[in-house]
Homo-oligomer: A and B are copies of this chain.
Amino acid sequence: MKKNGPEARLNELDAKTIEVIESVAQQVRANIVAGRLPNISLPVRSLDNVKYDQAKGYFELGDAHKVRTLTVNTARVFAQTLRLMATSRTMVEHDDYATKREVYYISKNWGECRFDEQADSDAVMDDIEAVASAHGLSREQLRFYPETHGGSVAGRLVVIDRNAVTGETVEVDCSNLGSGAYSIPRSAEHLSFRTDARFVLAIETGGMFQRLNNHRFWEAAHCIIVEMGGVPTRATRRFIRVLSDKQNLPVYCFVDCDPYGFTNIYRTLKVGSGNAAHINRFLCVPRAKFLGVTPQDIIDFGLEDATHKLEPTDIKRAQDALENDPFIAAHPQWIAAITQLLKMGVRAEQQALAKWGLNYVIEEYLPRKLANENGFLP
């Protein structure tokens, strides 16, 4: 069992989290004591209130707020909001946490104010996360952890963690895991690092990650490799962000050359997405750049006969990005690259490099690309 109860030491951020929860609760209480209807002010999370901030480089919530006042109609969700904040507080104090799914089930013991559907508990959780976010606190700080798996990591990195029972420091040397790798935990908040890497290489597919790891590419390239496995999960995004911030490292993305790779995988990693704008500030990776595969790489590395025709969904996604995506619109290089891809009419996967031999990617492609970091897409 983990140590818990009063003896668990709270750090500064924990204290701030409890302070934010208490200030909301005290306001509710003050209103009740004064004979007024209590209310809670919550940031509006709908897309109307989301903007892409070019200077900050991510999607974020605007200033609109909604006020949840206690009425006959809102009594249940009002109570749920308060109980969920109380749950969060308890978890902070006891150094525990819950996934979205667990939060939903915890409520089954709340009698009349239990959640009927997980969609309902998710919405209330998002509301509380939005309040915390306005105070600079991440969802992990509230002890709401993502359900999904984190990616794998290998390379020139020591992760400094702790034994959750004894509190002892634990060091994981990601250069000494053989053919295996370090599996990213669901929260990276408490981690620190030691590294002499020059950059982080974030890789789309597990197959490519395994190749670069088995051949210890990261050794000579002086880097850390991270497997995203398609669109990176929140745990993976937060880990890369914390690592990039704490160690001041650029993040280079090695992704398929197709609209999905550009606008879903890469863009999600770098700037986040509109419908989770209340937490993007903690998840986005502003120092991410797109190493490849670029449309020009298809020509420069002779991959034409290892490409596939763009499907109608690819074309639609590309056109949609050109017309409606504020991140793409802000970067002429991206407009040019997507336009070039549409003109070529094909897409290429990162594994297509195997056409020139399984390890062409290690011996030729990555060294040539890394020699010209200015050529990366923004």
Return A145 CB to nearest CB of chain B, in Å: 7
A351 and B102 within 8 A (CB): yes
Encoded as 1 (CB less than 8 Å from any B CB) or 0, chain A from 215 to 227 comes to 1100100000001
> B98 contacts A164, CB within 8 Å?
no
Stretch at the interface among A35-43, A47-55, A184-192, A259-267: A184-192
- Given contacts A163-B178, A181-B183, A183-B182, whether A2 and B215 have CB atoms under 8 Å apart is yes
Residues of B within 8 A of A106 (CB): 354-355, 357-358
CB within 8 A of A214: which of B148, B164, B181, B214?
B164
A185–B210 contact, CB under 8 A? yes
Interface flags for A161-181 (1: CB within 8 Å of B; 0: not) read 111110000101000111111
- CB-contact partner of A149 in B2, B152, B356, under 8 A: B152
Cβ of A352 within 8 Å of any chain B Cβ, yes or no, is yes
Q: Note all chain B residues with C-beta closer than 8 A to A170.
A: 176-178
Q: Select one of B99, B108, B162, B227 contacting A355, CB under 8 A.
A: B108
Within 8 A of B (CB), among A317-372: 349, 351-359, 362-363
In this assembly, does A276 line the interface, its C-beta being within 8 Å of a C-beta of chain B? no
Distance of A149 Cα from B205 Cα, bound (Å): 9
Instruction: Enumerate chain B residues within 8 angstroms of A352, measured Cβ to Cβ.
Output: 105, 108
Task: Please classify the interface of chain A as helix (H, G, I), strand (E, B), loop, or mixed, using the class held by over half of its residues.
Answer: mixed
Chain B residue with Cβ nearest A239: B180
Q: Would you give the 0/1 interface string for A281-315, flagging 1 where the beta carbon is closer than 8 Å to chain B? A: 00000000000000000000000011000000000
Partner of A206, one of B148, B207, B358, B359: B148
| A164 and B178 alpha carbons, distance in the complex (Å) | 7
Is A149's CB under 8 angstroms from B96's CB?
no
State in angstroms the CA–CA spacing of A190 and B102 once bound together. Answer: 38
Q: With a CB–CB cut-off of 8 A, which chain B residues contact A205? A: 101, 147
- Name the distance in Å between A270's Cβ and chain B's nearest Cβ: 23
Roughly how many angstroms separate A319 CA and B139 CA in the complex, as a whole number? 42
Check if B178 sits within 8 Å of A354, measured CB to CB.
no
Report the interface size class on chain A.
Answer: 35 or more
Whether A152 touches B206, Cβ cut-off 8 Å, given contacts A99-B351, A101-B349, is no
Q: Which residues of B contact A183 (CB under 8 A)?
A: 152, 180-183
CB distance from A187 to the nearest CB of B (A): 7
Provide 19 A-B residue pairs closer than 8 Å at the C-beta atoms, listed in order of the A residue. Answer: A99-B210, A101-B351, A105-B354, A106-B358, A108-B355, A109-B355, A145-B210, A149-B206, A149-B227, A164-B215, A165-B215, A165-B216, A178-B185, A178-B191, A179-B191, A180-B185, A181-B182, A183-B183, A185-B210
| Residues of A bordering B, CB below 8 Å | 1-2, 91, 96-99, 101-102, 105-106, 108-109, 145, 147-149, 152, 159, 161-165, 170, 172, 176-187, 190-191, 205-207, 210, 214-216, 219, 227, 229, 305-306, 349, 351-359, 362-363
Beyond contacts A1-B215, A98-B358, A108-B355: 12 other A-B pairs, Cβ-Cβ < 8 A, are: A2-B214, A2-B215, A97-B214, A101-B351, A102-B358, A149-B149, A149-B206, A159-B180, A164-B179, A172-B177, A178-B191, A181-B182
The 6 A-B pairs at the shortest CB distance, nearest first, are namely A161-B178, A179-B185, A183-B183, A105-B354, A99-B207, A181-B183
